[in-house]
Structure 1
């Protein structure tokens, strides 16, 4: 997991099934600004619990994607970068390494 990616990289993730783009903003923010194509929304407040406790079936039902394995490529997004950095730190703490 790299600490930073470019906007161009994120734009290219729309159809990349090998990378999971997780927007950690609150749903109310998404209503105002829209979503990033190809992303799923897991608010930062629930991210750690979702990654740790959700079964693959539950994850698929909620997000229409497989629950990421510990070696999956994850990219986190938010408004200014602070929450995505916190999300990255939480994922690393759980053992996600790419």
Structure 2
């Protein structure tokens, strides 16, 4: 995960091809902080409600960042790996095929 985040930091989301998404709730992220400034927040309930199937404009208005393109690699993280795995399954159902799951989550990252 550190290498992926470093890649995004040193180039950009567009150049690296990675979108690192934290699926924890805003309250959880507030208590620990973000994994890194390049990590975007999209809580799992929004993904379950179809966020990744929204059109680009509505998505950006709702979540404050560009909707991931189907050719980008989505890297999901949560607290311990359960929700990030679910997010990956939901992303596949929304048409994404390049999906990574950071199983260690914020528990591992901040320890």
TM-score range, shorter chain: 0.7 to 0.9
Structure 2 equivalent of residue 68 of structure 1: 68
Provide the aligned C-alpha RMSD in A: 1.8
Pairs within 5 Å for 1:18-97? 18-35=17-34, 36-48=36-48, 49-52=50-53, 54-97=54-97
One of 4, 12, 16 as aligned partner of 1:16: 12
TM-score by length of 2: 0.71
For the 8 Å contact 1:40–1:63, the answer to whether it is kept is no
Secondary structure at 1:47 match in 2: helix
Higher helix share: 2
* Residues 26-85 of structure 1 deviation map (CA, whole Å, 9 limit, x = unaligned): 000011000132111111111141111x22112223444321222221111111111111
Secondary structure at 1:12 match in 2: helix
Consecutive unaligned residues of structure 1, counting only runs of 5 or more, are: 1-5
Report how many aligned residue pairs link the two structures. 92
Higher relative contact order (CA 8 A, sep 6+): 1
Greater displacement, 7-16 / 79-88: 7-16
